[in-house]
Amino acid sequence: LGKPLPGRDNLVASRDPGFRYPGVTIIRDLEGFLQEEHADEVFVIGGHEIYKAALPYADRLYLTHINKTYPGDIFFPAYRAGDFRLISRKDIGELSFRVYERMRS
């Protein structure tokens, strides 16, 4: 964990009851936190398990697609593409930055 990001609240999800870090608020129950109403957008930065837990609560996805194959065994979790619509896309070389919005019925 580096320094907290300036100008915003920094929250870290951890199940370790002894975990402390200066300048951040520790979230012990990520799903409970995500179920609450929030005035501002909440950005989830994590690994596969954090993304997987947060995905059902996401209204918007900011994803960078890398148009090249790299070795690896951990990826962004699968989601139903039909649940989201592409609202913006910017391609730069091998990267495609895309924003998806959840479709409401």
Q: Where are the domains of the chain?
A: 1-57, 60-105
**100, pLDDT greater than 90:** yes
pLDDT (mean) for 64-82: 92
Structure-model confidence comparison of residues 102 and 36, the more confident one: 102
Structure-model confidence comparison of residues 88 and 15, the more confident one: 88
Long-range contacts of 42-47 (CB under 8 A, 24+ apart): 46/13, 47/74
**pLDDT-derived band of residue 35, with 50, 70 and 90 as boundaries?**
confident
With H, G, I as helix, E, B as strand and everything else as coil, classify residue 31: helix
pLDDT of the residue at 84: 97
